[in-house]
Amino acid sequence: MEKFDLIVIGAGPGGYPAAIRAAQLGASVAIVEREVPGGTCLNWGCIPTKTLIASAEFADQFRHAETLGFKAAAPQIDYPALIRRKNEVVAQLSGGVASLLKANGVKWFHGTASFLTRNQINVANGSINTVLEAAHTIIATGSTSTMPGFLPRHSRVVESRSFLDLTRLPASVIILGGGVIGCEFACLLARLGVQVTLVEMLSDILLILDEDVRRELRQVFEKKLKIRILTGAPLTDITASDEGVSGKAGDQTVSAELMLVAIGRRPVTAELNLAGIGIQTTPAGHIPVDAQGRTRAATVFAVGDVNGGPQFAHAATRQGVIIAENLFAKSRTAFDSLVPSCIFTDPEVGCVGLTEAQAKEQNRAIKVGKFTFAHLGKALASGHPGGFVKWIADAATDRLLGAQAVGSHATELIAEATLAIRGEYTAQELGRTIHSHPTLSEAWMEAAHALHGTCVHAPPRRS
Amino acid sequence: MVNAIIMPKLNQSEDDCIIVKWRVKPGDKVKKNEILFEIETEKAVLEVESFYDGTLLKIVVPEGVATPVNATVAWVGEPGEKVPDVAPPPPAAAAPIPAPVAPAATKTQTAAAAPVAAVAVTAPVPFPSAAAPAPARRQAVSPRARALARNSAVSTDSIRGTGPGGRVVEKDVRAYLDSKGYGQLRITPAAKALALREKVDILTVRGTGDSGRIMTGDIERSLRERPRALSKMRQIIAQRLTQSVVTAPHFFVTVPVDMTDLLKFRHVLKTRGAPFSVTDFVLESVALSLVEFPAMNSSTDGKTARWHSAVHLGMATSLEDGLVVPVIRNAQDLSLAELHAAVVALAGKARDGKLLPDEMTGSTFTVSNMGMLNIENFTAIINPGESGILAVSSTVQTPVVRDGRIVVREVMKITLSSDHRLIDGAVAARFVNAIKSKLEDINLWKSLT
């Protein structure tokens, strides 16, 4: 039986960085994966969708070429070519992960892992079973799209992973679910010329965001991208046939060629035999962990989507690295609570830390500083004057607590805000930091000034 | 006509009071019986009413200053009337000065007592000032040095001055910062802003951020750890109980009481609509026993002993942050039903903070019942001036030997604390057994109910 200091189950963004960091620290490490290196993020999530979104963005710019001063015919979309490009990008990155693991001496086992005991793991690959022994184990098995039973089982009803394998773009689509995944797909498809209907049961789409950000988004979704958004009622009477799919949302009838289901993801734990090692999952199926990722079983840890924390690749990666360092560098770091979120819609959204709504819920005294891109030179020059950034700061100490950006490059812009909040900067100091001109990041500086009513480039705020 | 408002004398033991809040301001119309201000005494915050109609012309004593009783604190009269030129009384524990006021003013009334109250007393006890001891000397610090220290978020307290007369100058602050490795100290901007605002010396704060960087949370923790003034009530408790422990040599006698029969009988009574509590039975037994043992119902100052002819039973009652001891007067004369009614009324008032000063003073013996708090046994500290206190613990099912066999009985332990200056072991033993035998005598309770 082969023995390791650490076995990582799952080679996604939570698992492979943990394996590599542990190997860097001198541990003997095995990684078990039943599919391909990179997990959902790299193969069927973040990376493939962003590849397609880049193409869609280009098509969209093309469509509005005359506003930038040139004439161009409407773009012809070659969807199979888009998918080919996506597959190339994914293959390159996945191969990169495989070679990084190899270069760091992490041993690869292909198959499905299940616990025999806390320290013994069976890897089933077809009919071949291999038993490995580990001092420590990190579960990084991730999550998969939810397809509840009320949905018809039909080839025209798909979730995000199988959608990405389609080689033909439908003319129209119903997207079920107004969360991050649903909205990203809605914008992607709308920009590729697909007629999109978005159905969300809750009162609004993207409820994690503050109301002003949502308003800005809906404005663009509905006016520019012509996405039909139906909120506040579940989709009922769903039928699927070879002609298409249809249903009812409240008193509205919806129909399309295809339905894309994006109503959430559930953790993957079924084959692990968690009960056998004394780990009870939550009703939602997550593995409960403490602030350092420890499960009820002393030598077993869990990172990423499977532990019920923030469902982001970057959160999982940081958690995996923290556990590797806690184990093999003898540190005692807790998981970070500050996790930025990025939404690759049109316009993009970046969000980190406290929102205005949360501050209100906590009855916390805050100050808000906002700056719209319409007042910013670079935003106008580059033809993206929509959106704004805003800071949320503690009213008493001026400490930056949260930030949201909506507009062009918002997902890049949020990094500065994350750094400033983690470093516990005050709005005053952020405002005093010189930001190069003309750039979009100047908006943060201006918004920090606006928070104190000292913004030069915006009219005085009406009280 | 101009009338003086004076600091009322509320209690024999108090020579001065602090006005904690003025409810009116100069120029306000005031009516007779309208509340003018709140004062904090050793036992309570009380509201003081006006005895005059008119306009508040002048406040002589501001909030927060200890003021002798009978001193003029304000003037009430007609608008525009001239106020006699009286200097505010010297603050704090100076000897009471004769009141320069009209006799009518002595009629100033006290209104209902506000929540706070503390351990009852029978004898006046000198009470040390609640204020922290004054700093040994005022440290001389140059303005530049002070500004540097303040902007660096450090305290100058432990900086040695090299200026004239030991004055701390800027150079000293710089040397101090260097010697403490201030340059290497890492602190986030927001944490520093908070430290500056709350005057936290960041050299005393341990950082928990990356590489020991001081984070906002670290400053907040240090703020939470800052010493806080005890409430007036806790200060009184501390002072009284320390005094009791130091002056009265305590000794303790514990007996188990078999409550099985009485609890059964209590259940019967309850079904008959007479909901007596264990506390009622204990208090009644204590009252009856005190009549038999007058020595236990006495007090001493160390030189003289004084036997009390009446039993005034204190019952220690816990509040959110402290305790009060409401007093059942003449408990020896009350029937069990009357005793029960008194207990219910006083406990309710204690909970609501509605006890009057009179209802919290003058006890001759005290009972502390922690039976509902799931404890086997405890000892209580004697209420100063009394000769004993009875600690009542939880009733617990216990194996007991009866007629050579082990049986399960409901057993409640009671522990008597006695002041050895007045009470010797034999008396204490007989007294506590007198209580025990009453509680175990079911016929007694049948006759009392």
B217-242 pLDDT, tens digit per residue, is: 999 999 998 888 888 888 888 999 99
**How, if at all, do strands A2-9 and B54-59 pair?**
unpaired
Would you state the pLDDT for residue B34? Answer: 85
Lookup: tokens for B373: 């708090």
What is the 3 state secondary structure string of A340-408? Answer: CEEECCCCEEEEEECCHHHHHHCCCCEEEEEEEHHHCHHHHHCCCCCEEEEEEEECCCCEEEEEEEEEC
Select from B113, B130, B157 the last residue of a domain: B113
A390-441 pLDDT, tens digit per residue, is: 999 999 889 999 999 999 999 999 999 999 999 999 999 999 999 999 999 9
pTM, two decimal places: 0.72
Q: Which of A210, A216, A199 is nearest to A263 (CA)?
A: A199
Would you state the pLDDT for residue B129? Answer: 41
DSSP result, B36-61: EEEEE-SS-EEEEE-SS-EEEEEESS
In sequence order, which residues have a C-beta less than 8 Å from that of residue B356 and are 6 or more positions away?
A: B112, B113
Instruction: Indicate the residue type of B71.
Output: A
Split at pLDDT 50, 70, 90, the class of B128 is very low
Q: Which of B248, B347, B232, B264 is nearest to B298 (CA)?
A: B248
In a domain, B134, yes or no: no
**Lowest model confidence (mean pLDDT) among A111-115, A318-322, B137-141, B431-435:** B137-141
DSSP result, A248-269: EETTEEEEESEEEE-S-EEE--
Of the candidates A286, A314, A437, A449, the residue annotated as catalytic is: A437
B-chain residues near A426 (CB < 8 A): 189-190, 193
For all residues of chain A together, what is the average pLDDT? 94
Would you state the pLDDT for residue A130? Answer: 95
Cβ <8 Å between B190 and A398: yes
Answer yes or no: is pLDDT of B95 > 60: no
Determine the average pLDDT of the residues in A18-44.
96
Residue with tokens 């404890």: B375
Split at pLDDT 50, 70, 90, the class of A352 is very high
**Lowest model confidence (mean pLDDT) among A33-47, B119-133, B205-219, B228-242:** B119-133
Residue with tokens 């038993």: A131
What distance, in Å, lies between the first and last C-alpha atoms of chain A?
A: 72
Cβ <8 Å between B188 and A396: no
Co-location of B256 and B298 in the same domain: yes
Sign of CA dihedral B93, B96, B101, B104: positive
Count of A–B CB contacts within 8 Å?
30
Chain B interface disruption, residue of A337, A424, A428, most B CBs within 10 A? A424
DSSP result, B14-43: -SEEEEEEESS-TT-EE-TT-EEEEEE-SS
For all residues of chain B together, what is the average pLDDT? 84
pLDDT > 70 in chain B, percent: 86
Instruction: Indicate the residue type of B222.
Output: S
In a domain, B135, yes or no: no
Give the CATH number, domain containing residue B71: 2.40.50.100
Which residues of A make CB contacts under 8 Å with B? 394, 396-400, 423-426, 429
Split at pLDDT 50, 70, 90, the class of B87 is low
Domain holding B60, by residue range, is 3-113
Would you state the pLDDT for residue B136? Answer: 52
Give SS3 for B255: strand
Answer yes or no: is pLDDT of B280 > 70: yes
In a domain, B62, yes or no: yes
DSSP-derived letter for residue B230 is P
Give SS3 for B253: strand
In sequence order, which residues have a C-beta less than 8 Å from that of residue A242 and are 6 or more positions away?
A: A156
Co-location of B287 and B372 in the same domain: yes
In a domain, B118, yes or no: no
Instruction: Indicate the residue type of B24.
Output: V
Answer yes or no: is pLDDT of A49 > 90: yes
B-chain residues near A400 (CB < 8 A): 190
Cβ <8 Å between B189 and A397: no
A-chain residues near B216 (CB < 8 A): 397, 399, 424
Please, where are the H alpha helices in A196-353? 211-219, 313-328
Give the CATH number, domain containing residue B155: 4.10.320.10
Answer yes or no: is pLDDT of B116 > 50: no
Cβ <8 Å between A424 and B190: yes
If one counts the domains in chain B, the total is 3
- Give CA separation, A94 vs A90, A100, A163, in Å: 6, 10, 20
Cα distance from A29 to chain B (closest Cα, Å)?
27
**Could you tell me the fold of the domain covering A347-451?**
Enolase-like; domain 1 (3.30.390)
Split at pLDDT 50, 70, 90, the class of B92 is very low
CA distance B410 to B396: 5
By CB neighbour count within 10 A (0-12 exposed, 13-18 middle, 19+ buried), where does B248 fall?
buried
Select from B178, B193, B224 the last residue of a domain: B224
Lookup: tokens for A395: 């009213």
Q: Which residues of B are catalytic?
A: 420
Co-location of B256 and B372 in the same domain: yes
Co-location of B287 and B390 in the same domain: yes
Q: Which chain B residue lies closest to A429 (C-alpha atoms)?
A: B189
Instruction: Indicate the residue type of B239.
Output: Q
Co-location of B351 and B401 in the same domain: yes
CATH class of A2-144+266-328: alpha beta
Co-location of B250 and B353 in the same domain: yes
Answer yes or no: is pLDDT of B114 > 60: no
Give the CATH number, domain containing residue B258: 3.30.559.10
Asked whether the beta carbons of B22 and B37 are under 8 A apart, the reply is yes
Co-location of B59 and B179 in the same domain: no
Answer yes or no: is pLDDT of B115 > 70: no
What distance, in Å, lies between the first and last C-alpha atoms of chain B?
A: 61
B-chain residues near A398 (CB < 8 A): 190, 193
B-chain residues near A394 (CB < 8 A): 190
- Give CA separation, B421 vs A181, A204, B52, B383, B386, in Å: 82, 78, 51, 14, 11
Co-location of B106 and B155 in the same domain: no
Asked whether the beta carbons of B232 and B130 are under 8 A apart, the reply is yes
The strands making up B3-6's β-sheet, listed across from edge to edge, are: B3-6, B72-77, B54-59, B29-30
CATH class of A157-263: alpha beta
Select from B204, B224, B244 the last residue of a domain: B224
Lookup: tokens for B220: 């907040």
Determine the average pLDDT of the residues in A337-365.
95
By CB neighbour count within 10 A (0-12 exposed, 13-18 middle, 19+ buried), where does A201 fall?
middle
Answer yes or no: is pLDDT of A305 > 80: yes
In a domain, B431, yes or no: yes
Lookup: tokens for B183: 């340059």
In a domain, B331, yes or no: yes
**B194–chain A Cβ distance below 8 A for any pair:** yes
A102-148 pLDDT, tens digit per residue, is: 999 999 999 999 999 999 999 999 999 999 999 999 999 999 999 88
Would you state the pLDDT for residue B12? Answer: 60
- Start-end of CATH 3.50.50.60 domains in chain A: 2-144+266-328, 157-263
Phi, psi of B266 (to 5 degrees): -60, -40
Sign of CA dihedral A426, A427, A428, A430: positive
Answer yes or no: is pLDDT of A4 > 90: yes
In a domain, B121, yes or no: no
In a domain, B129, yes or no: no
Co-location of B201 and B219 in the same domain: yes
CA distance B30 to B47: 15
Answer yes or no: is pLDDT of B126 > 70: no
Determine the average pLDDT of the residues in A23-37.
96
Asked whether the beta carbons of B57 and B2 are under 8 A apart, the reply is yes
CA distance B437 to B439: 5
Answer yes or no: is pLDDT of B264 > 80: yes
Determine the average pLDDT of the residues in A197-219.
95
- Start-end of CATH 3.30.390.30 domains in chain A: 347-451
Co-location of B80 and B100 in the same domain: yes
DSSP-derived letter for residue A426 is B
Would you state the pLDDT for residue B50? Answer: 85
Whether the bond between A438 and the residue before it is cis, its omega within 30 degrees of 0, is: yes
Answer yes or no: is pLDDT of B96 > 50: no
Co-location of B191 and B255 in the same domain: no
Q: Which of A377, A388, A383 is nearest to A437 (CA)?
A: A377
Cβ <8 Å between B193 and A400: no
Asked whether the beta carbons of A166 and A189 are under 8 A apart, the reply is no
